[in-house]
Each structure stands twice: as structure tokens, then as C-alpha cells.
Amino acid sequence: MKTKFLYLFLFLFIANWGFSQDFKEKKEKIRGLKIAFISQKLNLTPEEAEKFWPVYNKYDTKIMDLKEGQMKLRLKKKELTDEEALKQIEEAEQAEAEIMALKKKMRTELIPIIGADKVVALERAEQEFHRKLLNKLKDRKGPPSPPRD
């Protein structure tokens, strides 16, 4: 479910702003908002924060890069041959496996730093942040137009 939200977020983000310098600025702004949101939700001590953020940022950056690559792959071409479609499926599965492995490594490194309860709270905070961000983007775009025949 979280992956679906992220894909939708990335699609809306890319469709709305493109791949320009403006995109990079918006991406950094959203990253800053995410950091502030997570900081508030986790209520980290200064000692925890000092150790938490380098680990989190290392993995989050890699995960976002992989997800962005998946999105670009999906937006690349609409009509695919069976061979191209199979290759795209395999690449998406490989990226998803890498994402899951990175998340597992991140959790393993974060549990000794902030505890398992805050790792669970982190996952909830990330989901909540993405949900709020999607809602804000939906509000900005207005109601969807009806499909055309």
C-alpha cells in the first residue's frame, strides 16, 4: 500500500513539475517537510537524532532513487512488445527487492539507535506524510475530470 502511495506521489509530482531545476527545488522542499514531520512524530532526543538522521538519510536517498527509476521506467513507453514488457517486469521486481532489502537493513541499523517502537512509529509517520502530501496535491489540482470516451 505504501508503495502505491509513493508511486502515485511520484507520478503526480513528475507530471505537475517535470524534470526541470524547479523539480529539484520542489523535491528538496518536500524532503525538508518530510524531515520536519518525522522529527515531530518521533520526538527524538538530541542524542537519538544525531545518530538517526545519517542512517535514515543514507537509506532514504537510495530508496527514493530506486523508486524514481521505477517510475521513469513505467512512464517510458505505453505500447510494449511482450519481450519489453517482461524486461520491464523483471527490472521492477529487481528494484522492489532492492528496496525491501534496504528497508530491512535500515530497520536493523535503526533499532539499536531509537528502539523498535520508534522504528514502527517511523513507518507510520512516513505513511502519514505521504498520505497528507497526496491529499495536498489532490486539493491543488482540483477535482478529477470525468473520463472521455
User: What 3 state SS string does 47-98 have?
Assistant: HHHHHHHHHHHHHHHHHHHHHHHHHHHHHHCCCCCHHHHHHHHHHHHHHHHH
- Cα 34 from Cα 16, distance rounded (Å): 19
- Exposure string of 43-71, with b = 16+ CB inside 10 Å and e = fewer, is ebeeebeebbeeebeebbeebeebbeebb
DSSP 18: T
Q: Is residue 149 part of a domain?
A: no
Q: Is residue 96 part of a domain?
A: yes
Question: What local confidence, expressed as pLDDT, does residue 74 receive?
Answer: 75
Q: Is residue 51 part of a domain?
A: yes
- Cα 10 from Cα 23, distance rounded (Å): 11
Q: Is residue 118 part of a domain?
A: yes
| Phi, psi (deg, nearest 5) at residue 100 | -65, -40
The rounded percent of the chain whose pLDDT value lies above 70 is 79
- Residue with the bigger pLDDT between 35 and 1: it is 35
How many domains are contained in the chain?
1
Q: Is residue 106 part of a domain?
A: yes
- Residue with the bigger pLDDT between 2 and 59: it is 59
Question: What local confidence, expressed as pLDDT, does residue 119 receive?
Answer: 96
Question: What local confidence, expressed as pLDDT, does residue 149 receive?
Answer: 46
Mean pLDDT score, 1-23: 53
- Residue with the bigger pLDDT between 139 and 117: it is 117
Whether residue 16 is predicted with pLDDT greater than 90 in this model: the reply is no
Q: Contact at 8 Å (CB) between 105 and 113? A: no
Tell me the pLDDT band of 77, cut-offs 50, 70 and 90: low
Q: Which of 12-26, 91-105, 122-136 has the lowest mean pLDDT?
A: 12-26
Q: 39 is in which domain, residue-wise? A: 2-14+22-76+83-141
